[in-house]
């Protein structure tokens, strides 16, 4: 005999779709239960919502200092890479500033465990610009030393041969004949020289702090000093701007909106 009790629809009560247990947590896949959260618009169960609240990073002064330390380390590494490439190859590749911006931004986010915000963005841009611009100092020093070395080698290779023995003897005799006259005029000339030296003020020497300040100024202004070559300078500034933008975007605040808990009523049943 055919049993129709299970296949025959029940008209005594009306049950609405989406009963208990049909909605799932977007995080763990389990049933929502009686309470749920909304994390960045996604529905989660009560447990996952509470865990998201516990893991939500909280900004603080200590975290900001930690982010600055990590970002400074990334900037130093970027400066070494930029300057090292320029010194070894003799080429100034502006595209390395993109890598510098990425290193600084990632380093700051690593130090803050993912916390970003406006002050982190400003710090990332400042550190990226400092790393790229100050790399011109070691590159310039290296180029100056190479030029001095090449100049000294040029002078040595083109030096005149030593004078002959006869010329030396003739010069000695001339020097001996003029010795008496030099002795007579020596005292008066020394007096005159002493008066001139006393009247001429000594040229002040720059202190180490002044020299360091001049180097820092020249380094920080180097991206704009390159505008003396308009095409190369403008292209370098554009690439530098892109590198700064990368650092800015990487350290942007990561929004985490957590709403709840909400209570979920039991499935409704109504008698017909």
Burial 24-60 (b: 16+ CB within 10 A, else e): ebbbeeeebeeebbbbeeebbbbebbbbbeeeeeeee
Residue 252 burial (10 A CB sphere; 0-12, 13-18, 19+): middle
**Per-residue pLDDT for 125 more than 80?**
yes
Lowest-confidence pick of 145-154, 157-166, 242-251, 256-265 = 157-166
Enumerate the domain spans of the chain.
21-56+257-271, 61-144+214-250
3-state secondary structure of 237: helix
Please compute the mean of the pLDDT values over residues 4-23 and round it to a whole number.
47
Cβ(123)–Cβ(101) below 8 Å: no
Each residue's pLDDT tens digit, 165-193: 444 545 455 555 555 555 555 545 555 55
Percent of the chain with pLDDT over 70: 69
**What is the CA 258 to chain-centroid distance, rounded?**
33
Residue 200 burial (10 A CB sphere; 0-12, 13-18, 19+): exposed
Which residue has better confidence, 102 or 150? 102
**pLDDT value of residue 99:** 94
Cis-peptide into 261, omega within 30 deg: yes
Q: For Cα atoms 100, 106, 112, give the angle at the middle one, nearest 5 degrees.
A: 135
First to last CA, the chain: 30
């Amino acid at each position: 005999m055919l049993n129709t009790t299970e296949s025959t629809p029940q008209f005594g009560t009306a049950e609405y779709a989406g009963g208990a247990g049909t909605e799932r947590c977007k995080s763990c896949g389990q049933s929502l239960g009686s309470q749920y959260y909304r994390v960045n618009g996604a529905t989660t169960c009560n447990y996952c919502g509470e865990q998201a609240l516990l893991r939500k990073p909280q900004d603080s002064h200590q975290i900001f200092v930690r982010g600055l330390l990590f970002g400074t380390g990334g900037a130093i590494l970027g400066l070494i890479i930029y300057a090292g490439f320029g010194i070894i190859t003799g080429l100034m590749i502006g595209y390395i500033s993109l890598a510098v911006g990425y290193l600084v931004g990632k380093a700051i986010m690593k130090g803050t465990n993912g916390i970003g915000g406006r002050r982190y963005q400003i710090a990332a841009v400042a550190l990226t610009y400092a790393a790229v611009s100050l790399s011109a100092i070691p590159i310039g020093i290296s180029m100056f030393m190479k030029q001095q070395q090449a100049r000294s080698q040029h002078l040595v290779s083109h030096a005149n041969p030593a004078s002959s023995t006869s010329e030396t003897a003739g010069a000695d005799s001339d020097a001996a004949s003029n010795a008496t006259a030099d002795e007579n005029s020596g005292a008066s000339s020394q007096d005159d020289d002493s008066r001139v030296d006393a009247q001429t003020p000594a040229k002040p020497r720059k202190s180490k702090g002044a020299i360091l300040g001049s180097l820092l100024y020249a380094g920080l202004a180097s991206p704009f000093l390159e505008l003396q070559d308009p095409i190369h300078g403008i292209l370098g500034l554009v690439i530098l701007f892109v590198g700064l933008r990368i650092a800015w975007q990487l350290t942007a605040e990561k929004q985490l909106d957590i709403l709840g808990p909400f209570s979920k009523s039991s499935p409704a049943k109504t008698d017909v």
